[in-house]
Amino acid sequence: MAKGEKKSGKKLTKAGRRFFQIILIAALCVAGYSGYQLFAGIKEYRDSQNAYAELAAAVETVPEASAAAEDPLPDGVTRADFTKLADINPDVSGWLTLPDSEIDYPIVQGTDNEYYLEHLFDGTVNHSGCIFIDYTNSPGFTDRNTVMYAHHMRNGSMFADVEKYREQDWYDGHKVLYLQTPDAIYQLEPFAGILTDGAAGYVQISFESDEAFNAYVQDKIDQSTFTSAVTVSSEDQIVTLSTCRYDAYNGRYALFCKLTKIA
């Protein structure tokens, strides 16, 4: 009897060893895949940042001396050559810069709101994507509200800095964004920023009346995470910058800005 028990124990030991070998192999596979995913993600971040930095350098123009005194853009803002940009991607609609931040990117408008979620400006597949205008907007920032989307990347790129408007201190130090288009230069003055979600219906492009527009603007001011002295009338146009946030399921942060032509 004792001999049989000993033999059974050996069998259990072999079975246990085999089980732990399987578990170890599975764990190594998971670790390897996770490592690959991490490496791939870091590489995408790096590729995206390099691509946009190289693009900015390639398309930047220098104002002529005679025009420099009238240049409305502050130092440090990329002055975009839209002929060069259109040669790379005819979907180009503008260039957006927030001084002293990571936001310094081209803007596109495609035929849907999906493609540029996973493609860079030059068409390269990359999860950083590109800043894009809602495909239902009219071109040229002619609607009462033009809506732009971009990812909130965890490395701080794309629209990650938009969510920083949750804090009054960030707003106080970043009160103006600059928007260049092929035909004009604008400043964007944030007047409200709200915590919302993808199902909240916060995006509205057209309005049936001035009263409806004013009510929409006031609603956003009432919800705003910061206080601004910027006033918006029924004669104004606005621009909405929308991005994801990670502290809520399907969370969004939407920044609402007054659009003013300066050149």
Closest C-alpha to 238, from 262, 214, 222? 214
CATH number at residue 163: 2.40.260.10
Angle at 158 between CA 154 and CA 159, to 5 degrees: 85
In a domain, 196, yes or no: yes
Residue 121 located in a structural domain: yes
Residue 93 neighbours by CB under 8 Å, 6+ apart: 107, 108, 109, 133, 139, 140, 181
Tens-place pLDDT, residues 198-220: 988 899 999 999 999 999 999 99
Least confident of 26-35, 48-57, 108-117, 165-174: 26-35
For residue 111, the enclosing domain spans 45-62+77-261
Please check the confidence at residue 196 and state whether its pLDDT lies above 60: yes
Residue 143 in domain = yes
User: Within a domain: residue 144?
Assistant: yes
Has residue 10 got a pLDDT over 80? Answer: no
**Catalytic hit among 119, 130, 152, 244:** 244
Residue 40 has pLDDT above 60, yes or no: no
244 is catalytic: yes
Give the span between the Cα atoms of 148 and 171, in whole angstroms.
Answer: 19
Specify if 209 maps to a domain: yes
Of the pLDDT bands very low, low, confident and very high (cuts 50, 70, 90), residue 43 is confident
pLDDT of 73? 94
**CB–CB of 178/186 below 8 Å?**
yes
170: Cα separation from own chain's centroid? 17
Residue 37, domain member (yes or no): no
pLDDT number for residue 27? 55
Predicted model pTM:
0.84
22 assigned to some structural domain = no
Give tens-digit pLDDT for 235-245.
999 999 999 99
51 belongs to a structural domain: yes
Average pLDDT over residues 56-85: 84
**Six-digit token string for 135:** 């495909």
Per-chain mean pLDDT for the chain: 89
Residue 257 to residues 83, 221, 238: CA-CA distances in angstroms? 27, 11, 5
Pair 77, 99: CB distance under 8 Å: yes
Express each pLDDT in 129-188 by its tens digit. 999 999 999 999 999 999 999 999 999 999 999 999 999 999 999 999 999 999 999 999
Indicate which residue of 119, 151, 152, 257 is catalytic. 151
pLDDT for res 70: 74
Q: Is residue 17 over pLDDT 80?
A: no
pLDDT at 50: 95
Please give the tally of structural domains in the chain.
Answer: 1
